[in-house]
Amino acid sequence: MYAEIIIPLALPKNYTWAIPFEMEEAVMIGMRVEVMLGSNKRYAGIIKKLQTEKPAGFNPKPIISVLDEAPIVFPAQLQLWEWMANYYMCTEGEVMQAAVPSHLKISSESIFVINEDVNVDGEQLSDPEYIISEALQIKKQLSLLEIQKLLDKKAVYPIVNKLIQKGICSVQETMQDKYTIKVENVLHLHPNYKSEAALEKLMDDWSRAPKQLTLLLAFLHLQKTAGHVQQKALLEKSGAAHAQLKALIDKGILVLEKRKIDRLAVDLNLGNANLHELSFHQKLAFESIVEQMKTHAVNLLHGITGSGKTQIYAALIDQAIQSNQQALYMLPEIALTAQMIRRLKQYFGGKIAIYHSKFNPNERVEIWNKVKSGEIKIVLGARSALFLPYKNLSLIIIDEEHDASYKQQDPAPRYQARDTAIFYANQLGAKVVLGSATPSIETYYNAMQNKFGYYHLKERFSEGALPKMLIVDTKKQTDQAAILTPFLLEAIQATVAKDKQVILFQNKRGYAPYIICETCGWIPHCKQCDVSLTLHKEKNILSCHYCGAAYPVVQTCEACGKQNFKQKKFGTEQIEEKLAKALPHLRIARMDLDNVKGKNEHDQLIQQFEQRQIDVLVGTQMVVKGLDFENVDLVGIVDADSLLNFNQYRVNERAFQMMEQVSGRAGRKNDQGRVIVQLSQTNHPVIEFVKEHDYTAFYQFEINNRKHFAYPPFSRLMSILFKHKENHIAEEAANHFLKSLDPLIQKTVMGPAQPIINRIRNKYIWELCVKISRQPQQLQIAKKQLLHFIHLISVHPRYKSVQIIIDIDPN
Ligand code: ADP
Ligand code: ZN
Ligand code: ZN
């Protein structure tokens, strides 16, 4: 027997291996097997196809071992991967790389790290497993090579696989944040005092240390009321100090246990709440969507900000799980999942789990398995949640469907998760609900063509009006005063005086986006990128936002030698500083990539804001998306011009979405909120639509532009980047490539041109943009040609070191 196997690498195609006779019984499609690639590289690959005919022309090598007892992926997933590789012009290996948690992807490059929090029970281990686990205790981590040496054999994958399954070791993920295990300190009574009599005697004989006795009594009380006693709660309740607790532990009265907090654990207090009853308008929306789902695989719920779309999704999800199906709820950003899970856990308790790429590997495998078995009914996640092995998925909700983050930029697969979900749902026979207050132009167009079902929910849940938009013309201000105009400052003060909160939105982080020599006009640039450097005052550096490089702040101009720099434009850091100076009594916090690291910090800040410990939150897009704060009355869009000045066909769409979404954070409960938009281009057409919150008029305006210039949805775009450290080589390669194409396809290509940022990390970039009709056939022909010529470039003596990146449906 022979097997076509997917290896998590960018190989040009899948290769075939032979299945030795004695393993034939053990293999199935979707299982992992250990294979050798080249002379010594080993990988865990996934069987895609099994066949009896020997492939023509070569002699396949045998697989080394079978790693699974049951498939880890379903055939439907393999079909999805194949479609993605085909559509997004990447390899199935690259899709596998993105789709499968690292623990299921061992290779000879993997490093295996001990899980310190797992108690190893030697009895449960085979001899070789025991040897490895002992070695891990000492060395903490081992490479595959070391394991092979230790066991004095080559085929060690099955053993390592078992150790991973038993939670004894993990595959190290170098790219990921290091996961910290959450532990809580829990206290127990020592078994010696478990009996009433022994406890009584202990108390009777108590002579000194009254504080310790108080502590013990507090412990007993908590144990009775709360069931289990956390150290933190105990110390708080009793007012005792650590030393006293330690004394009780040292005396052998209490025992301390470090308990790992199971993030998947079902909180018994949750999940009992009933779903909120839908309002009249919500009910209409819900019923209409349910009805339309009978005829449409994809449905758009277009609901203004604050209309309560989440409740409708919850009702739809509830319906799905009532009939014992699974539901996937996708959000564009990991950061949003925390607030949402708090809301959804109330109703769905342990039936719902979060899944995204920042989760620790053990946990991801755990969720993977529970989704596969059907134990987890609802998954809340970002893009990668689409790749879980759903047992019976019947509903996919795509919240904030317009959001650009649904597109993965780097690395391949450069996929649009919304579009991919639609394909996948079709394949599975599941239904999709897209939701947004500002649908993407393509989605709305599809709805208008009746390709998608559609419902427009025009009322806020609170019955309140959308916020009032006030435009402040910054042309009338000096540069400095335009950052926070007197009008905005006054409004902030008045809002806080009413005990309400404020959000200030600015799309640039740092202090000043660039500095310039006033004498000669020289601007410091990144040495590796064609990008001006942003001044960060707190860190006292100049930073490149493209490659992350940091430079000391220059004082002397490299061009003219004068010391005469001026800061230009402004970012969140400067707004925070200016605001603190102008209104020193306010509690101000900033939320951007510089001061919010990791999902926990982000979530903490959001909770602080929710609990009103912060008056004004200054931030980038992070503060905008989908969050629900009920006490925000005023939103300031500090520099709306920066949203309107992009050279990209989607600029209007993005600017409208961004402003409408930020505004949507204001006045979500009760009072009508206000939005202050500071800008100089007061006549920009998009501003008119934003002022009236008029999506439909905006759409009419924009769809005409798209039609006129034949941009999506009236065509399909593909971007092809040529990157090389020599500018002229990249340019030549792009031209060479263009000339090789069939004249019919050539006609559809724009470029080669240099993008606005034409050098990143020392590589010059030239771009071809293909704009072709949406006919699937034409697309296939074009793709085939492109692939062919990309291959020719990759073996061309002069251009083979040019890196080519294809992006289908680029953002
Ligand atoms: P959207 O996502 O459409 O902007 P949300 O779903 O965040 O709106 O809802 C806005 C607010 O209204 C939330 O605070 C939510 O709890 C509340 N809400 C919405 N629907 C209901 C309902 N049926 N019952 C009670 N509260 C609701
Ligand atoms: Zn100068
Ligand atoms: Zn750089």
The closest ligand to the CA of 762 turns out to be 3
Residue 667 pLDDT: 79
Phi, psi for residue 55 in degrees, rounded to 5: -65, 145
Residue nearest to atom 2 of ligand 1 (CA): 309
Which atom in ligand 1 lies closest to the alpha carbon of residue 311? 20
Tokens of 11: 């190989």
Q: Which residue among 311, 342, 401, 455 is best mutated to probe the pocket of ligand 1, counting the most ligand atoms within 8 A of its Cβ?
A: 311
Residue nearest to atom 17 of ligand 1 (CA): 308
Residue nearest to atom 6 of ligand 1 (CA): 308
DSSP class of residue 461? T
CA triple 307-312-313, angle to 5 deg: 120
The closest ligand to the CA of 531 turns out to be 3
Residue nearest to atom 18 of ligand 1 (CA): 308
For residue 531, the CA-to-ligand 3 centroid distance in Å is: 7
In 3D space, the residue among 710, 734, 723, 717 whose CA is nearest the CA of residue 808 turns out to be 717
For residue 532, the CA-to-ligand 2 centroid distance in Å is: 15
The closest ligand to the CA of 546 turns out to be 3
For the stretch 414-419, contacts whose Cβ atoms lie closer than 8 Å and that sit 24 or more positions apart, written own/partner, are: 414/88, 414/90, 414/806, 414/807, 414/808, 414/810, 415/84, 415/87, 415/88, 415/383, 416/809, 417/330, 417/382, 417/383, 417/386, 418/330, 418/443, 419/809
Phi, psi for residue 608 in degrees, rounded to 5: -60, -40
For residue 523, the CA-to-ligand 2 centroid distance in Å is: 8
The closest ligand to the CA of 563 turns out to be 2
Residue 178 pLDDT: 37
- Rounded Cα distance between 566 and 521, Å, is 10
Tokens of 539: 């860190």
Residue nearest to atom 5 of ligand 1 (CA): 308
For residue 560, the CA-to-ligand 2 centroid distance in Å is: 4
Sequence-ordered list of residues with C-beta below 8 angstroms from that of 795, at least 6 positions apart, any chain: none
Residue 176 pLDDT: 38
Provide residues with CB under 6 Å of ligand 1. 276-279, 282, 303, 305-311, 461, 628, 630, 668
Residue 406 pLDDT: 96
Residue nearest to atom 26 of ligand 1 (CA): 276
Residue 61 pLDDT: 93
Which atom in ligand 1 lies closest to the alpha carbon of residue 305? 4
Residue nearest to atom 13 of ligand 1 (CA): 308
Cβ(361)–Cβ(399) under 8 Å?
A: no
Residue nearest to atom 19 of ligand 1 (CA): 308
Which atom in ligand 1 lies closest to the alpha carbon of residue 309? 3
For residue 547, the CA-to-ligand 3 centroid distance in Å is: 4
The closest ligand to the CA of 610 turns out to be 1
pLDDT mean by block of 10 residues, the chain; 811 residues? 93 92 94 87 92 89 90 96 96 94 82 80 86 89 88 84 86 50 75 85 85 88 78 84 88 81 48 78 96 97 92 95 96 83 87 84 85 94 95 96 94 96 97 97 97 95 86 88 93 95 94 95 94 94 93 94 94 96 95 79 86 93 77 94 87 94 81 91 94 95 95 95 96 95 91 91 95 87 91 91 95 86
Residue nearest to atom 23 of ligand 1 (CA): 278
Residue 223 pLDDT: 82
Q: Which residue among 289, 397, 459, 461 is best mutated to probe the pocket of ligand 1, counting the most ligand atoms within 8 A of its Cβ?
A: 461
In 3D space, the residue among 489, 483, 509, 505 whose CA is nearest the CA of residue 662 turns out to be 505
Note the pTM of the prediction, 2 decimals. 0.84
Cβ(470)–Cβ(562) under 8 Å?
A: no
Side-chain-side CA neighbours of 417 within 13 Å: the count stands at 29
For residue 756, the CA-to-ligand 3 centroid distance in Å is: 14
For residue 595, the CA-to-ligand 3 centroid distance in Å is: 20
Which atom in ligand 1 lies closest to the alpha carbon of residue 628? 7
Cβ(6)–Cβ(81) under 8 Å?
A: yes
Residue 599 pLDDT: 63
Residue 550 pLDDT: 94
Q: Which residues surround ligand 3, an ion (CB under 5 A)?
A: 526, 528-529, 544, 546-547, 549
